[in-house]
Chain A
């Protein structure tokens, strides 16, 4: 199975900060990667698919980049509603696998 290593596991930030989350795959997954946001007690929400395509309705402060084994989710200016946990998910191989998650908390 393709292992996804996400970092950091936790980060504290303030409103307006630029935040970067990294996901590394154990093998080449081309650009077959999505990013999901999950708030406590809620279902995950799709932010980005195919590495960099923003899902409809998602604010443009979210962006994704990368290819092969190294991928990045960037929030350009953190907003109050962005404090949540973020997961990457590879869809290159079966079984699909998530990163461990990054919790973004208030500094």
Chain B
């Protein structure tokens, strides 16, 4: 079955750290860009970071730069998000998603066609 499963969420104090994992199955993981998104309670979606299939290229949202890192272990079909110096405003459900880059002959487009169910991160004292 083709799926993504996140884990690693929980409750952490402000200033603390957490490492989220996303385990993929049913597709050739190393061929795909992967991304993390988040959604604060009752709020909209926010793109957090992405990482190329070979792990060589990554991008981050400005609000979390310097506090997060993204990595992957293609042998384990896993994507990770290391979050440090966590703040109250980082409280959210974190989703991972597969990006099936679409190329129309002139440009690439993000195609987030598969999502995990999400893992909840609560930052609270």
- A residues near B, CB below 8 A? 1, 30, 32, 34, 36, 38, 43-46, 49-50, 53, 55, 87, 89, 91, 94-101
A97 (CB) vs chain B CBs: closest residue? B47
Q: Chain A interface mostly helix, strand, loop or mixed? A: loop
Q: How far is the CA of A89 from the CA of B102 in the complex (A)?
A: 15
B42 to A: closest C-beta gap in Å: 11
Q: How far is the CA of A97 from the CA of B110 in the complex (A)?
A: 12
Ordered by A's residue number, 15 sampled pairs between the chains whose C-beta atoms are within 8 Å are A1-B62, A32-B107, A36-B112, A44-B95, A46-B111, A49-B102, A49-B111, A50-B102, A89-B47, A95-B60, A96-B50, A97-B47, A99-B44, A100-B44, A101-B45
Q: How far is the CA of A53 from the CA of B112 in the complex (A)?
A: 13
| Chain B interface bracket (under 10, 10 to 19, 20 to 34, 35 or more) | 20 to 34
Bits for B95-124, please: 1 = Cβ < 8 Å to A, else 0.
101000010100101111101111000000
Q: What 10 pairs across the A-B complex have the smallest Cβ distances?
A: A91-B110, A43-B115, A96-B47, A50-B109, A101-B44, A94-B59, A95-B61, A49-B111, A98-B45, A46-B113
